Amino acid sequence: MLEMALLTIFPGAMAMAGAMDLLTLTIPNRISLALIIGFFILAPLAGLGLTDIASHVACGLATLVVGFLLFARGLIGGGDAKVLAAAGLWIGFEMMLQYTFLVAIAGGALALSLAFYRSMAMPRWALKQDWAVRLHDRNGGIPYGIALAAGALWIYPSTQWLTGG
What is the pTM assigned to this prediction? 0.93
Residue pair 32/62 in contact (Cβ under 8 Å)? The answer is: no
List pLDDT tens digits, range 46-75.
999 999 999 999 999 999 999 999 999 998
Around Cβ 68, how many Cβ atoms within 10 Å? 16
User: 101-119 burial, b for 16+ CB within 10 Å, e for fewer?
Assistant: ebbeebbeebeeebeeeee
List pLDDT tens digits, range 89-130.
999 999 999 999 999 999 999 999 999 999 999 989 889 999
Residue 161 has what pLDDT?
A: 84
Q: Report helix, strand or coil for 164.
A: coil
